[in-house]
Structure 1
């Protein structure tokens, strides 16, 4: 059996940008075969089920991703050269989310044929997580057996992310009437948009959250006008809307639209919903038993949790603050600790 550190080194040395993950998927497939497990493949998603399967037991999905972002500009080392220095394994994808992925794979291999396990296991190493793409976990879900709950492997310092913000990108459009700037003719769409942008900036969403705080909206892009002497008749802007678990995306969009007097807000997508799991859920209880020092928190960053329609717990080795940074790394001891925690919490269920 290949140890998780060796597998992670192999993945680091196998470029796997989003939509270009085929070689990493091949590697994971072969790793499972080498451990006497039959993998399934759909696009660049690799999945399998535990051999000791009982229909009367709940089914737990173990999911993490093997795609990466592009290397940051500030890298001082080869991002695909896996190297351990002073207990740190450097390389693109080591922290996000290779450490979690190889730890989940190792725990699955150790437990999938255990007759004493009180749950069925489904392992899914998926693609396109970094771009929330259609050919990742969303494409794979219809092929999987019914799932009761999931562990989503992401860097959380092995703390328990029991809630996660949703995301909606909104395109705002404000219409006016063109005219000559010198004669102050027309209706300036830019001025109208500024009124609504000011309202968006000052708006406080009514439903807060102890875990995630308030839902927030930030205007990040604006475009208007064609030349200096023409009053613009159209202004467009973009809103980044981060939604707590007290709202559906649809509800948050409707509340924000209500404060805009002149602009129409159109969501690009509503599928990246917020999520939350209760402290009393068996996954959370089992995780706290496996690691009593783990804290519960709400995660501001997006993951494949947003696409999963059942209770999910985000949990894994590494630190989210290291994700997408130059000279990305994970501590070697974090991987060993993650394998132990995943294994124990699944036994605790």
Structure 2
């Protein structure tokens, strides 16, 4: 602050120390002391502080801020104290979750101990900026009297909203408002057949979710928003230590065999403008997989409001499913031993997925000494390309012998990326190959073969993201429940095997065979700029899930 942003330090000595004679001029010095630029910046800073009377301004704004903060009515605040614009808000709970919630709203604050939120804004902060900060703090700390902007106001008065303003239970959970902006704008008025849509909470929830970016590793804002929305719909909800959104019909679902609905919050990168067109809602994640996750929340809330559930239903919005880590799913494997599990992935509301292929990611690096392009030596890119063709030829031959015409039974390598660099001394090429693996495939043998080729071609390899194929059958109890529910809505169910991977590959080996994947949306639109979901299909999926969960939640015995 002394140098107005330019690094500068100063040493102050009291009169007693000066008069002691033990410290004279030049005793405490620095090689870089007296930097002319830093000293000039400090003098300019002092001039501005004096000319604009910033201390008095800080005192005035600080008084206003203290008054506003002390007037907030929330059990989270124990005390507000400060001097000028240096303010501390002592909370009744640990402060870290609220700092993270503020950061997600573009407010940077720091802790002062485990439960004090410290505000130390610049002296030149404008009144408008300070007003914004105080408003966001009030929202995050759940102060009474704060109006919630956006689509949640619509949801609170529509079908699916929890009666009586139920707030649920959420230890250490910051309360966040709905996304701001045009969240209510252009809600659909007509469906595919010209029938009017009610501007209901189910559509409003999905629309709001699409307005909150949640790329892999950046799901925090969406997790907290969903926890708040689930509480308003009568569910017990919180964000766990991994960052997963958790909502349940029962307070203590871990001690029983629940029905687990495992969706995911994260999406791939890319912006798809959010809009309604001809009965469809467009946006990144509408299909993969915010649509299925929203359907999980809506169906579970319906049953929670109806009551009389023997068995808990747990909704998990996992983090990092789109990444090879699957950190969210791995974080709940040991927490639950479910009666049944539904993975939230788009299959179409009339279809049920009962198998996903395995996966292996292969990263290769080729480094060669630079040479003239007219010379005989192969470049690093040529070596990498030769290695890739070797991979393709091997897969083609394997498929001729073992796969027949089945995509699910095929070995499917894909060249995900390849790029090269040169510095005049070395050429380097990096490539990434993704394998989709068939059932009962010998992954260890494939790795050994790839390593042998790498040694022969001087390609350094590393492996990651390994998952075995997982498949169940259409005869399991959960699949039969979906068949009955889909038929009860007048549709004809079909079963699918998918060539990708999902969190079914992660939890299936631990949770058993009573597991399927289900959700609205056309999976061919995954990760595309045209990603959208038909709202009639979205509503149909919620109805199907409600029927399935109603049956499962009354079961008392487990069938594996």
2:442 is aligned with 1:244: no
For the Cα contact (< 8 Å) 1:166–1:249, is it kept in 2? no
Find the counterpart in structure 2 of residue 49 from structure 1: 248
- Please state how far the C-alpha of 1:277 moved relative to its aligned partner: 1.3
For the Cα contact (< 8 Å) 1:88–1:330, is it kept in 2? yes
For the Cα contact (< 8 Å) 2:525–2:531, is it kept in 1? yes
2:484 is aligned with 1:289: yes
TM-aligned CA distance change 1:265 to 1:346, over 3 Å: farther
Give the number of equivalent residue pairs: 337
Greater shift in the superposed pair: 322-331 or 197-206: 197-206
Find the counterpart in structure 1 of residue 456 from structure 2: 262
2:352 is aligned with 1:156: no
Aligned runs of 1:184-199 on 2, under 5 Å? 196-199=387-390
SS of the equivalent of 2:347 reads coil
Separation of aligned partners in 2, 1:54 and 1:124: 12
- TM-score, normalised with respect to structure 1: 0.79
2:484 is aligned with 1:299: no
Please, which of 214, 238, 246 is the counterpart of residue 40 of structure 1?
238
Greater shift in the superposed pair: 36-45 or 248-257: 248-257
Find the counterpart in structure 1 of residue 410 from structure 2: 214
Separation of aligned partners in 2, 1:193 and 1:17: 30
TM-aligned CA distance change 1:161 to 1:151, over 3 Å: same
Gaps of 5+ in 2: 1-159, 162-200, 553-560
For the Cα contact (< 8 Å) 1:52–1:115, is it kept in 2? no
TM-aligned CA distance change 1:259 to 1:306, over 3 Å: same
- Could you list the per-position Cα deviations for residues 277-301 of structure 1 after superposition, in whole angstroms to 9, with x for gaps in the alignment? 1222211121122224222121123
Separation of aligned partners in 2, 1:211 and 1:58: 35
Please, which of 178, 192, 213 is the counterpart of residue 15 of structure 1?
213
SS of the equivalent of 1:171 reads strand
TM-aligned CA distance change 1:45 to 1:179, over 3 Å: closer
- Could you list the per-position Cα deviations for residues 105-164 of structure 1 after superposition, in whole angstroms to 9, with x for gaps in the alignment? 1222233575465x542210122222244643223434x222344211111112112111
For the Cα contact (< 8 Å) 2:357–2:437, is it kept in 1? yes
- Please state how far the C-alpha of 1:6 moved relative to its aligned partner: 1.3
Please, which of 273, 280, 297 is the counterpart of residue 105 of structure 1?
297
For the Cα contact (< 8 Å) 1:66–1:98, is it kept in 2? yes
- State the structure with bigger RCO (CA 8 A, min sep 6), 1 or 2: 1
- Please state how far the C-alpha of 1:44 moved relative to its aligned partner: 2.9
Find the counterpart in structure 2 of residue 331 from structure 1: 534
Separation of aligned partners in 1, 2:545 and 2:276: 23
Find the counterpart in structure 2 of residue 128 from structure 1: 320
Gaps of 5+ in 1: none
SS of the equivalent of 2:222 reads helix
Please, which of 225, 229, 241 is the counterpart of residue 31 of structure 1?
229
Larger Rg over CA atoms: 2
Larger strand percent: 1
- Please state how far the C-alpha of 1:317 moved relative to its aligned partner: 0.3
- Could you list the per-position Cα deviations for residues 33-84 of structure 1 after superposition, in whole angstroms to 9, with x for gaps in the alignment? 1123221312431113332989997432101122223325xx5xxx2x4x43
- Please state how far the C-alpha of 1:313 moved relative to its aligned partner: 1.4
For the Cα contact (< 8 Å) 1:305–1:314, is it kept in 2? yes
